[in-house]
Amino acid sequence: MSTAAKGGWLGGGREEEAVHTAAPFVHTCVWLAHVCGMCVPRKRTEIALLTNIGANGRDAIEEMWVFWFREAGVELEGRLKEAGMKAQSVNEWDAAEAEMRRIILERPGWVEVKNRLVTLLYLKGEVSASLELALEVVKAKP
């Protein structure tokens, strides 16, 4: 089970031992980006995590995913995860899409929610809308 799936860095226990040493830096940058609306720490964190992928493999990739999920704050992270769970069921696709769109309205600069919506729109067969949003995602995070 991944560190993120076990509750992230704050979950306690053995998973904390496996976390890369950049974790305190990542937490600080997430906090700064959320509280101060700063994008410079976010970019530095992403570059640091990408740089570590070669040396730390899965841990660095996992940290990147956790960072992207948390960069809009814990509340929106939880809402996105809940919408993601709904997106796993065809019967809940519309509810998942509606929640993702509400989150986008609240935090239009948060790319991860758009990235998740890209996948959901593709699954729903809305390929052109998915592609259009995917282009926004790639433009924001090349």
Residue 38 pLDDT: 43
> What does pTM read for this prediction?
0.64
Question: Which pLDDT belongs to residue 35?
Answer: 41
Buried-exposed string 55-84: b where 16+ CB fall within 10 A, e elsewhere: ebeebbebbbebbbbbbbbeebbebbeebb
Separation of alpha carbons 11 and 138, rounded Å: 32
The DSSP letter of residue 92 is: G
Q: With a cut of 70, which residues of the chain have pLDDT below it?
A: 1-42, 56
Instruction: Give the per-residue pLDDT at 25.
Output: 41
Give the pLDDT of residue 4.
37
Residue 66 has a pLDDT of 82
Give the residue extent of every domain in the chain.
Answer: 8-70, 74-140
- Residue 70 pLDDT: 84
Output phi, psi for 77, to 5 deg.
Answer: -60, -45
Q: Rounded to 5 degrees, what are φ and ψ at 19? A: -70, 135
